[in-house]
Structure 1
Amino acid sequence: MRKLPHITVLFWSMKIAATTLGETGGDLLAQTLRTGYLVSTVVFLAALLIAAVCQLRAGRFHPAIFWIVIALSSTAGTTLSDLMNRTGGIGYPGGAAILSTGLIIVFVIWWRSGQTLDVENVASLRGEVLFWVAILFSNSLGTSSGDFLADSLGLGFRDSATLLAAIMLVLLAAHRFTSANATVLFWIAFVLTRPLGATIGDFLSKPRDHGGLQWGTVWTSAALLATLIGLIAYQIVDLRRHHLSLLPLPVNRRTGAPQEPNGDLVTIGHR
């Protein structure tokens, strides 16, 4: 059975909501509640590990578990990035460079492992593990790159979000009207949704003298959490009416050898 959702408009809407919540939620714990980046990172990584184990052990796609992992990887990525860039003194450009290198290394390992990078067709346990490692790196990178655009380049939160949204529209047009590789376009868009969410979250929560709307991390996080819960509930109901399609048993892309599936096996009878 499929463990990862189909890539639809609903998926992208939930991804942006989850990553925006990750930005404000990370700032809520680390800054507003003053626990600091180190303690916050440890807390979120521990919660992420528990949620990720639940996701990996599940036999099919559970929207609540999947999006909890996405949101926690985003909050952990926020505090981890800020820990590196601010507390560690690396700075936004340095942090973005380090995390970009890490993400590229993950993709190289993923490709050489013989797993498919097409998220909709990930059917092996190893492929799903690599998917979640890439998620953590991409969400951490998104915080650094979002801060780099807004602060280092001086674009501000609103203009940075506008620029990233425009790039997303270009990627959508390329997917719809050109023969560009869909997997490459997906991962570019997936990475960019994180800085998009980061800049939107900062724009909503930061003080007006910092270019924000001054909603605060508490109210912004509460509104985003309510939005995400509503979307999860909608997806659960929708899945009852339109089941996800099944996947064939996974094989190594390079050798054709069978691999350990990451979902429950379903036997389909033949007539």
Structure 2
Amino acid sequence: MTNKQFLEPLNRVPNVTVAFWLIKLMAVTMGETAADYLAVNLGLGLTLTSIIMTSILTLVMGLQFSQRRYVPGVYWGTVVLISIVGTLVTDNLTDNFGVALQLSTALFSVALIAVFVIWYQFEKTLSIHTIFTARRERFYWLAILLTFALGTAAGDLVAESFDFGYLTTAIVFLVVIAVIAIAHFVFKFDGIFTFWLAYIFTRPLGASIGDLLSQPVEYGGLGFGTIYTSLGFLASIVLIVLFMTHSERGPDTAKLSL
């Protein structure tokens, strides 16, 4: 390693790869089902679940910020927890405060755009390939939280308020993501712009998949339940992260950037 390489700052988030999108999709799917399991099936309720999960997220986020490079286990643990908390934010607005999904979708959209504008004003870039400083990382995680909250609201809006059902909703968002991918890879749309669009829309896709797998058959699901669905995706995430951590050439080396 040269002195120049040694002095170069290290990115604190992973490369955008096939494995990145795979784990991200599983993480947001688990975020949907785990939030439902803790609040409903375990009987903790939205308020207590939100307090517990936000407290755990705060601790893990502190660990993430203490890193000076990308550490798979810490990073993806943070993503899973922030996915759960993002889901709970939207669920609290809807169930505890009576905020309509149309309004919460609009509010989160405006908030996310505002974060991007302020982020760009300070840093002159929204690229996740240059998360070298604590300030950039704060903007990054705030944007991630809002994408999860927005994705939950948008997914619930399409699946429930528009009465599309979980399977149709998943197909709709899968088509949207395919269009974004085509726009980037075929028509060469800006990579940063298409990345964030895809990141937003994988949240409602994952939520729809989670609901499809976990919800009872009479409600349009497959009836696997929230506990088994959550544990299945958690186990898959852990296995992939362990492989990425201990393998010299794991899935994270197969780049497929958006």
Give me the TM-score of the superposition, normalised by structure 2.
Answer: 0.91
Give the letter aligned to residue 13 of structure 2.
L
Note the C-alpha offset of 1:115: 4.6
Residue 267 of structure 1 corresponds to: none
- Unaligned residue ranges in structure 2 (runs of 5+): 1-9, 254-258
Which residue, 76, 79, 86 being the options, matches 2:88?
A: 79
Letter in 2 for 1:216: G
Alignment of 1:136-147 (within 5 A): 136-147=145-156
> Match of 1:152?
161
Post-superposition, which runs of at least 4 consecutive aligned residues in structure 1 deviate over 2 A?
Answer: none
Q: Which residue of 1 aligns with 2:237?
A: 228
SS of residue matched to 1:155? coil
In structure 1, list runs of 5 or more residues that go unmatched.
Answer: 246-271
Question: Which one has a larger percent helix, Structure 1 or Structure 2?
Answer: 2
Q: Which residue in 1 is equivalent to 2:42?
A: 33
> Aligned Cα RMSD in Å?
1.6
Counterpart of 1:14?
23
Instruction: Report whether the alignment pairs 1:96 with 2:105.
Output: yes
Aligned counterpart for 1:123 among listed residues 132, 144, 164:
132
Give the Cα separation in 1 of the matches to 2:118 and 2:128.
16
Q: Which moved more, 1:153-162 or 1:115-124?
A: 115-124
TM-superposed CA distance for 1:195, in Å, is 0.7
Residue identity over aligned pairs, in percent, reads 33
Q: How many residues align?
A: 244
1:196 corresponds in structure 2 to 205
Provide the rounded CA distance (Å) in 2 between the counterparts of 1:196 and 1:229.
Answer: 21
* Distance in structure 1 (CA, Å) of the matches to 2:122 and 2:199: 21
Shift of 1:114: 2.0
| AA of the residue aligned to 2:169 | S
TM-score (norm 1): 0.87
SS of residue in 2 equivalent to 1:55: helix
Give the 5 Å matches for 1:62-77: 62-77=71-86
